[in-house]
Chains A and B, each alone.
Chain A
Amino acid sequence: MIGQELRCRECSRLFPLEALAVCDFCFGPLEVVYDYEAISALDLTARIENGPRSIWRYRDLLPVQDDDPVDLGAGFTPLVKAVRLGRELGLDDLWIKNDTLNPTGSFKDRVVSVALTAARHLGFKVAACASTGNLANSVAAHAAHIGMDSVVFIPKDLETPKILGTAIYGGNVVAIDGNYDDVNRLCTELAAEMPDWAFVNVNIRTYYAEGSKTLAFEIAEQLGWKAPDHVVVPIASGSQLTKVHKGFGELHKVGLIGEKHVKISGAQAAGCSPVATAFQDGTDFIRPVKPDTIAKSLAIGNPADGWYALEVVKNTGGSIEAVSDDEILEGIELLASTEGIFAETAGGVTIATLRKLAARGAFEPGEQVVALVTGHGLKTLDCLSGRVSVSTVIDPSLESFRKSIQAGEIVFSNPPDTR
Chain B
Amino acid sequence: MPVSIRIPTQLRSLTANESEITVSANTVGEALRELDQSHPGIGERIFDETGKVRRFVNVFLSDEDVRFLGGLETPVTDGQVISIVPAVAGG
Contact = CB atoms under 8 A, between A and B. Distances in A.
Interface of A: 10, 21-29, 130, 180-182, 184-185, 187-189, 191-192, 199, 201-202, 205, 236-240, 287-288, 290, 300, 302-305, 307
B16 interface: no
Contacts of B21: none
Contacts of B10: 22-24, 27
Contacts, number: 89
Contacts of A21: 86, 88-89
A302 B56 CA distance: 11
Contact of B90 (A28, A180, A287): A180
Nearest to B56: A27
Interface residues of B, number: 24
Ranked 7 nearest A-B pairs via Cβ: A237-B91, A184-B90, A27-B56, A29-B88, A202-B89, A192-B9, A22-B86
B55 interface: yes
A181 B57 CA distance: 14
A246 B39 CA distance: 39
B55 A202 contact: no
Contact of A27 (B83, B86, B91): B86
A29 B90 CA distance: 12
A199 to B, nearest CB: 8
A201 B67 contact: no
Contact of B85 (A10, A188, A201, A205): A188
B91 A303 contact: yes
Contacts of A188: 85-86, 89-90
A202 B10 CA distance: 14
A240 B90 CA distance: 12
A349 to B, nearest CB: 15
B89 A304 contact: yes
Contacts of A27: 10, 45-46, 54, 56-57, 86-88
A290 B69 CA distance: 13
A302 B87 contact: yes
Nearest to B87: A304
B91 A305 contact: yes
Given A185-B58, A205-B89, A302-B58, 5 more contacts: A27-B46, A28-B55, A28-B88, A130-B89, A304-B88
B12 to A, nearest CB: 9
B75 interface: no
B53 to A, nearest CB: 10
Nearest to A178: B63
Contacts of A302: 58, 65, 87
A181 B63 CA distance: 11
